Structure 1
Amino acid sequence: MNALIPHADTRPSSPAGALPVAGAWHVRAADPALEEVAATVRALLAPHLPDAAGGAPRELALGLDDVTSAAPLGIAPGGSADPVDEGYRLCVDADGITCLARTPEGVFRGATTALQLIATAPVTGELPYQELADAPRYAWRGLMVDPARTFLTPDEVRRVIDLAALYKLNVLHLHLTDNEGWRIELPGTPGLTAADADFYTAADYRALQEYAARRFVTVVPEIDLPGHCATLRAAVPGLPPAPAPAGLADRFPFVPPLDLTDGATRTAVTRILTEVCALTTGPYVHIGADEAFGATPESFDASVRELRALVRGLGKRPVAWQESARAGIGPEDIAQYWVDVAMMDLPDTAEELAARPELVAAGRSMEIIAALKKFFAPTDDDFRRVVESGGRVLLSPQSHLYLDRPYAAGFAPPEQAAEAARLGFDGYRPLGVRHTAAWDPAAYAVPDANIAGVEATVFAERFKGFEDVSLLLLPRLPSVAEAAWCGRAPAWEEYRARLAHHGRLWTDRDLPYFASTEVAWR
């Protein structure tokens, strides 16, 4: 009946009929408490109504009502003890579209459904009269982008926020720091951004959070420590390296991780996190804790514990990558699960390596691959460690939810063959849209008490700018959003029929997308 993503069960209204969607629409708040929501919905709807003049406008009415739904699983991004009720009811009839919910968040989610109905309407230009009731399975539904490696301007970040909101995602995780760049202004350590014109001022960052909040999206900043710290080391010279495992020095190139037991290092990091926490309106700050290559387990343990304590002492709740679980983990800790050795899909022999041209082109040797497998071997126990210790798992598996994976050349239309060859991280096997859409969050059997939520990521090692981000997110992000909202993978044939209509929505919003030949775009 419709092309909604995430999927929502609908039933025909009685009497039967159809609502024309072309032309002008009036967004009306039926309750004064929804005036700001209505204004945001008008802005989101505008790109899809280029010929809005003429004729009596249809009405998109937003109202509060006693709509109840099952509580979602996981952690509330807004920081409340219980997740906010985002359930809603929607009706299409002769008067227009009506969205009702118990909370403004629920009303907004319903309004994005209405927007999709309008933007992906059938070629007849009419929407059948219908009713639906809908609510999310997971409370935390996120997307991580990586301005540390390839800067996104504040306006480009706003476009990402709009895209996330349109697919009912409610967290934007900003990977703000890495070896390649430091993208948030901190007056207490001006050297962090002194050498680079591309960063968010404190005012930029506040404004982005306000913009996201109006779309019920929580911004989670990531300050990636104790590894990935080249920019911090350049800004604060003289910080000692963390104690390294025996025999590692000078064998592989890496930036020495920080040692949080060192007084000068702890002082510098405390100053940084104090400013970040003060600037952040949301309840979470991500401390990184991944890939601390070159630190002993004891050093890593001490650093992670110190980072967590600092963030908690500053009134925020720390989030960290899964490796942080090795420093102990409990019910208040959130570990973002992203990798194990099998998921890395690395060859075991020289013959297998020769059959992986993307790895050969990236300069991977069997020695490097063996070192990677050894370094990542402890990841095989991280997931179990989190669950058995009572921690919370944020599902972001590299195998499916890392959207910087290259597209397989066989699915590229001729006009995008060069982009398919250029885009994506060169360490991943190129695959198609169907691969991402097959991801099922239920397959991990995370106990309800241990789930935090779901988050896609798009790292930026090989990006050139916003257009590349958009091409890698689209068309793969919507299936992740559906899995997070519905709690299951969609059936491919039915899903791709819905997805085929969304190219129009993205074109309306001037968002480039990869027109994979797996989908018969409409």
Structure 2
Amino acid sequence: MRAVIPTPATRAVPPGRTGPAAGGPWHLHADPALAPVERTVRELLTPHLGPLPPAGDGSAAGPLLRLTLDAPPPAPLTTVGIAPDGAPAPVDESYGLSVDATGITCRARTPAGVFRAATTALQLIALADGGALEAQEITDAPRYAWRGLLLDPARSFVPPQQLRRLIDLAALYKLNVLHLHLTDNEGWRVDTPSVPSLTPRPASGPDTFYSAEEYTALQEYAARRYITLFPEIDLPGHCAALRAAVPGLPAAPAPPGVEGRFPYVPPLDLADPRTRETVRGILADVCALTTGPFVHIGCDEAVGITDESFTDAVRELRAMVRELGKRPVAWQESARAGVTEDDIAQFWVDPEMMDLPASEEELGLRPDLLDAGFTGEFLGALRRFFAPSAHDVERVLAGGGRLLLSPQSHLYLDRRYAPEVVPADRAADAARLGFPSYRPRDVRHTAGWDPASHGIPDDRVAGVEATLFGESLQDFDDLTTLLLPRLAPLAGTAWSGRPADWETHRHALARHGRLWRERGLVHFPATEVPWS
């Protein structure tokens, strides 16, 4: 059965050998040093197999899933990028996996590698159609050390229990970073003791932010799945929630002719002493809560700020985070404030990706934009605003920094599904979900993204991160509808470093609908996938 995603680097089928009966009942056994991994694997398998009995408990005989620390055969990939746990070199996640008549053996040099092998074993077991598993030998290793997913609880809050379900999903596809966009105009979603007015307790109903205890527990939950939680406090723009909680913060200086012409929230002025003190207190709270080494400072779409004020703000935010013991990451616009070898910029856009009409005639051919209220004047302002993005990657490379790849053209999952792949009974969802100014695309478009297409040298790539912003989301099912099936092929590309062959991949992807259903996750049944 060849439905595993990411596709393993090497797979050999020994002639004349068969694997175990797929139906089990399966038993789980791990080396003593892997007891924490065993507990987590048991939790991940439960939705598919029910509670697993331990090996040797005297119950009926069945196949065995073994987890062992042992050197696997070398995998043919070399890992590149930044280690999300802050280590000088990426952790060894390479693994070997063997399927024979007695069961499945997962082996690796490190617990992280054993865990990655176990997620492959889980897919083999959960996606089997009865009968016997195929005997096989697998070796595998990741191409990119940083393989992330951004979620946006700022605009559409994701309660802790639902977030745990998404952490499990990310782990099943070998992602190792969960980037939480915690603040924006629409909300502030993390406990901030220095400014308690940011997270008031509701008069009734549950909190819509993560308390310090919940945030810590989420980090621990993710860490048991070898995932690093990565917080974002988006400044100096995207700050309406902060302005509402702390009235009177002055606006940053605006360029001539911009103020009052277009609707935007004035960015913060980091030259103002009160603003600077408030922001430093917030970042101190978040850095103290965060166990991982990175904190994202935003720096995107700061509409209505002069170049000089933006440069000062970026430099001030970077310096604060470094003084607080963390390493700053920012969106690509931050490169306009200068770049050093220690800087990481998240690449998300260039003028071509914005895909904006260049004339009134072209606008007339885009009903999606007309329906969203776009005018020729507004489009002209957008084109001028995004014009500098054409050179952001050059700025990062020239300064010696690294790029976290999140191109909006393919890795932004808050994009509508193309009409030609929408089933009739899901037309309403397809029309409602997704950012209105992005051209709708099919799953094949997303799955075909090649990291090498941007021409960025491997040694300058920090990693790969898909994003799902929450402007159009109403509930958890909306979130997973946009996420699935597109997350799976992107996770495969982040692991292997290249896109899978679509014709092969779409048949593999079809099997995963069953896995998502067993986990209670709603997905979008795009018609280009032959769903099982």
Written as runs of structure 1 = structure 2, the 5 A alignment for 1:11-50 is: 11-30=12-31, 32-50=32-50
| Mapped partners of 2:502, 2:262: distance in 1 | 43
Structure 1 residues 39, 195: closer, same or farther in 2, change over 3 A?
closer
Pick from 311, 315, 334 the counterpart of residue 321 of structure 2. Answer: 311
* Structure 2 counterpart of 1:393: 403
Query: Which residue pairs with 2:118 in the alignment?
Result: 111
The yes-or-no answer on 1:7 pairing with 2:7 is: yes
Q: Distance in 2 between matches of 1:448 and 1:409?
A: 36
- Which residue of the other structure, out of 89, 107, 125, is the alignment partner of 2:131? 125
Alpha-carbon contact 2:27-2:52 (below 8 Å) kept? no
2:172 to 166, 171, 174: 166
Counterpart position of 2:69? 64
Q: CA deviation at 1:15?
A: 4.3
Give the 5 Å matches for 1:502-521: 502-521=512-531
Shift of 1:237: 1.2
What CA distance in whole angstroms lies between the structure 2 residues aligned with 1:344 and 1:282? 32
Q: How many Å separate the matches in 1 of 2:131 and 2:405?
A: 39
Distance between the aligned counterparts of 1:203 and 1:97, measured in 2? 38
Deviates more, 1:65-74 or 1:98-107: 65-74
**Aligned counterpart, 1:248:** 258
Q: Helix, strand or coil: the match of 1:223? A: strand
Residue segments in structure 2 that go unaligned for 5+ positions in a row? 54-58
Give the secondary-structure state (helix, strand or coil) at the position aligned to 2:229: strand
Deviation digits for residues 260-308 of structure 1, max 9, x if unmatched?
1111111000000001000000000000000000100100000000000
2:268 corresponds, among 252, 258, 266, to 258
Q: Distance in 2 between matches of 1:75 and 1:242?
A: 33
**More displaced 10-residue stretch of structure 1: 59-68 or 242-251:** 59-68
2:18–2:132 CA contact under 8 A, matched in 1: no
Alignment of 1:330 with 2:330, yes or no, is: no
Cα distance, 1:243–1:21 mapped onto 2, change above 3 Å: same
Shifted more, 344-353 versus 239-248: the winner is 344-353
Number of matched pairs:
520
Kept after mapping to 2: 8 A contact 1:186/1:192: yes
Residue of structure 2 equivalent to 1:239? 249
In 2, are the aligned partners of 1:71 and 1:83 still within 8 Å (CA)? no
**What is the distance in 2 between the residues matched to 1:28 and 1:51?**
14
| C-alpha deviation, 1:124, in angstroms | 4.1
**Which residue of 70, 73, 95 maps to 2:102?**
95
Aligned residue identity for 1:161 = I
Task: Measure how far apart 1:66 and its partner are.
Answer: 2.2
The match for 1:190 among 186, 196, 199 is 196
Cross-structure match for 2:471: 461
SS at match of 1:308: helix
Give, in whole Å, the separation in 1 of the partners of 2:61 and 2:296: 49
Q: After the TM superposition, which residues 361-372 of structure 1 pair with which residues of structure 2 at under 5 Å, given as runs?
A: 361-372=371-382
Residue 448 of structure 1: CA displacement?
Answer: 2.3
Distance in 2 between residues matched to 1:152 and 1:365, nearest whole Å: 34
For 2:85, give the aligned amino acid. G
- Report the equivalent of 2:311: 301
Q: Deviations over 1:173-215 (max 9, x none)?
A: 0000000000001111100011763111000100000000000
> Which amino acid is 1:3 matched to?
A
CA contact (8 A) 1:479 1:490 kept: yes
Moved more, 146-155 or 409-418: 409-418
1:80 to 82, 87, 91: 87
Q: Is the 8 Å Cα contact of residues 23 and 55 (structure 1) preserved in structure 2?
A: no
Cα offsets for 1:482-505 (capped at 9, x unmatched): 111110111110110111100000
Does residue 134 of structure 1 match 2:140? yes
Kept after mapping to 1: 8 A contact 2:42/2:51: no
> Which residue matches 2:234?
224
2:182/2:231 contact within 8 Å kept = yes
User: Which deviates the most, 261-270 or 68-77?
Assistant: 68-77
Correspondence list, 1:352-391, <5 A = 352-391=362-401
Q: Is the 8 A contact 2:154 2:183 kept in 1?
A: yes
Aligned equivalent of 2:480? 470
Counterpart AA for 2:4: L
8 Å Cα contact 1:73/1:138 also seen in 2: yes
Equivalences for 1:471-490 in 2 at 5 Å?
Answer: 471-490=481-500
Q: Per-residue deviation at 1:126?
A: 2.2
Query: Does 1:275 find its partner at 2:276?
Result: no
Alpha-carbon separation, structure 1, partners of 2:60 and 2:364: 64
15-24 or 47-56: bigger deviation: 47-56
Say which SS state the counterpart of residue 194 (structure 1) adopts: coil
2:223 corresponds, among 213, 218, 234, to 213
CA RMSD in angstroms comes to 1.3
- Give me the whole-angstrom Cα distance separating, in 1, the residues matched to 2:453 and 2:118: 31
| SS at 2:230 equivalent | strand
- Cα distance in 2 between the residues matched to 1:171 and 1:263: 34
Tell me which residue corresponds to 1:348: 358
Question: 2:22·2:130 contact (CA, 8 Å) conserved in 1?
Answer: no
Q: CA 1:195/1:230 → structure 2, altered by over 3 Å: closer, same or farther? A: farther
Give the Å deviation of 1:71.
4.0
Conservation of the 8 A alpha-carbon contact between 1:24 and 1:51 = no
CA distance in 2, matches of 1:57, 1:240: 68
For 2:407 and 2:226, locate their aligned partners in 1 and report how far apart those are by CA, in whole Å.
Answer: 25
Instruction: Report the CA distance between 1:52 and its aligned residue.
Output: 6.7
TM-score by length of 1: 0.98
Q: Is the contact between residue 219 and residue 282 of structure 1 (CA under 8 Å) also seen in structure 2?
A: yes
| Deviation at residue 51 of structure 1 after TM alignment | 9.1
The answer to which of 383-392 and 207-216 deviates more is 383-392
Conservation of the 8 A alpha-carbon contact between 2:28 and 2:52: no
Conserved 8 A contact 2:295-2:326? yes
In the superposition, relative to structure 1, how do residues 246 and 195 fare at CA in structure 2: closer, same or farther (>3 Å)?
farther
> Partners in 2 of 1:294 and 1:33 — Cα distance?
55
Q: Unaligned stretches of 5+ in structure 1?
A: none
Secondary structure in 1 matching 2:420: helix
Correspondence 1:401-420 to 2 at 5 A = 401-420=411-430
Q: Deviations over 1:211-236 (max 9, x none)?
A: 00000000000000000001111111
Seq. identity, %: 60
Task: Give the AA of the match of 2:21.
Answer: P
Equivalent residue, structure 1, for 2:56? none
Matches of 2:420 and 2:70, distance apart in 1: 50
Please tell me the residue identity of whatever aligns with 1:170: N
Q: Deviations over 1:326-384 (max 9, x none)?
A: 11111111100000111011111222212211111110111111100000100000011
